[in-house]
Amino acid sequence: NAGVTQTPKFQVLKTGQSMTLQCAQDMNHEYMSWYRQDPGMGLRLIHYSVGAGITDQGEVPNGYNVSRSTTEDFPLRLLSAAPSQTSVYFCASSSSSGQIDEQYFGPGTRLTVT
């Protein structure tokens, strides 16, 4: 199993551009989520999904959209990039939505917005 994969690994955007960060998992996990991590900070939840067709907002959802059309994929869309969205983005999945279930994280996407 590849686990959780994320593409791209690195991305530079100009202010106002849009893009999609890809996340896929091959573990048949129902629960998937997106976090951002700023330098010297912990991870903050952006959006999450408890199954195909179901998404909800986390702690910092503004400026981001998600959709979940399949169990495997959970893309994160930046609508109009801003410098404040410069961060490292991690996608995670787990077999259920319970917090205590082990979360599997992807390797991250480093995004710089200039």
Partner 1 sequence: LAKTTQPISMDSYEGQEVNITCSHNNIATNDYITWYQQFPSQGPRFIIQGYKTKVTNEVASLFIPADRKSSTLSLPRVSLSDTAVYYCLGLSNSGYALNFGKGTSLLVTP
Q: Which of 9/14 has CB closer to partner 1?
A: 9
Q: Which of 17/86 has CB closer to partner 1?
A: 86
Q: Which residues bind partner 1 (CB under 8 A)?
A: 4, 31, 33, 35, 40-43, 45, 48, 50, 56, 58-59, 90, 92, 97-100, 102-108
Minimum distance, C-beta of residue 77 to partner 1, in the bound complex (Å): 20
Q: Which of 10/14 has CB closer to partner 1?
A: 10
112 DSSP β-pair partners: 12
Minimum distance, C-beta of residue 35 to partner 1, in the bound complex (Å): 8
